[in-house]
Amino acid sequence: MSKHFLVIAILLALPLETANAEKKVQVSVSPSIGYSLGKTEYILNVATYRADNNGDVITDQFGEPIVFLVKSQLEYPLDVVTGGARIRLVPVHDPGLWSIEAGVLTSLNDPKGAMKDSDWDAASGFYELTKWSYTESSPEMKSLMLDIEATRRILTRGKVQIAVLAGFRYYKIEQDLFGVDGWQRIFDPVTLTYSEQFFFDELADTQVLFYEVKYSMPQIGLNLSTDLSPKVAARLKTVFTPVWYEDVDDHVLRNKLSTSDGTGTGFVGSLNIHYDISSGQAQSAPFIDFFAEVMTLTASGDQTQEWYGDDPASPGSDDTGLRIDGLPHEVNSTRFHFGVKIGMSL
């Protein structure tokens, strides 16, 4: 994590030095409070074989192995209160010419929503995709977002200024999950059918899963800004980003660790309304910013599953040390974030 702080510190050092030495750069600092909504989906789709009660591969009437299509989906809630701070540098003589901005954001509470775990399967030529399990668990969450961006004006049309934007965002989420509340259906390997649902609510104070995902996101886009009045300005940002991700999914109850990494693409769009509180005559000018942002990410890669202990879900065999590579894996995330910043231009 320290390398990300180091990059931000280096990039800010030169403009800050210029500000102190020549007083030609305006510095603004703004703590923020906000709220996030959304979810991260963790999806696994594989084609595999299944075993009967004797441990033999299930076959059709001709003795050929039946191919089962298996889908697993975990949905992690992102509805949390957030807190953070930003620092922004602009030239005093022409504040719209360029800017350098950096910030940090973290979650302040745990999500109110549940983590949802759903499982389906289908047997080729026998039955369509069938949902056989659904459970919910209570999450505890930590998150950290670091970002830095720079803009340079390229065009002015009346009151509208258009600038190109380049930057980098690092985003990390950790969730510990507790309890299992839901239903399942038991599969009969002889008739290839499922039983009726049976419901349960167990392990309320027991950790059942740990999930961590990290995103690295170089950014390029456009920044549009305009003055709505002498005291009010609006800024619209649209950003495209390639995405590199790494994630870890530890099924604690099953002694199974799943890891994956991959690439994808994302989009970030935001609207900022800036209001100057003072008349603009004071050396230090307070302001209020209202902001709203949407961020969407889609990425895919290969997953590795490894059992560090015996899996109670497969009685009769010791899974310790078993490893499966190359499983297709997908991560989708949508996050809405809105709030207010109260700051000071120095």
The answer to whether residue 54 sits within a structural domain is no
Minimum mean pLDDT range among 11-20, 172-181, 211-220, 304-313: 11-20
User: CA–CA separation, 306 vs 250, rounded Å?
Assistant: 10
**Residue 173 belongs to domain with CATH number:** 2.40.128.90
Note whether 44 and 328 are within 8 A (CB): yes
Considering its fold, how many domains does the chain have in total? Answer: 1
Q: What range defines the domain where residue 94 resides?
A: 2-42+80-112+138-180+207-345
Question: How confident is the model at residue 114, as a pLDDT?
Answer: 96
The answer to whether residue 67 sits within a structural domain is no
For 306-342, the pLDDT digits (tens) are 999 999 887 778 889 999 999 999 999 999 999 999 9
Contacts of 256 (CB under 8 A, 6+ apart): 250, 305, 306, 307, 308, 311, 319
Does the pLDDT of residue 148 top 50, yes or no?
yes
Question: How confident is the model at residue 125, as a pLDDT?
Answer: 86
Question: How confident is the model at residue 318, as a pLDDT?
Answer: 87
The answer to whether residue 91 sits within a structural domain is yes
Tokens of 37: 């909504």
The answer to whether residue 24 sits within a structural domain is yes
Minimum mean pLDDT range among 42-56, 114-128, 138-152: 42-56
Q: Which of 262, 268, 167, 166 is nearest to 214 (CA)?
A: 262
Pairing of strands 98-107, 127-157: antiparallel
Note whether 63 and 56 are within 8 A (CB): no
Does the pLDDT of residue 1 top 90, yes or no?
no
The answer to whether residue 197 sits within a structural domain is no
The answer to whether residue 196 sits within a structural domain is no
Task: Report the pLDDT averaged over residues 234-240.
Answer: 97
Question: How confident is the model at residue 3, as a pLDDT?
Answer: 53
The answer to whether residue 62 sits within a structural domain is no
User: CA–CA separation, 283 vs 262, rounded Å?
Assistant: 49
For 25-76, the pLDDT digits (tens) are 999 999 999 999 999 999 999 988 888 878 789 998 888 999 999 999 999 9
- State the amino acid at position 27 in one-letter form: V
Task: Report the pLDDT averaged over residues 87-103.
Answer: 93
The answer to whether residue 50 sits within a structural domain is no
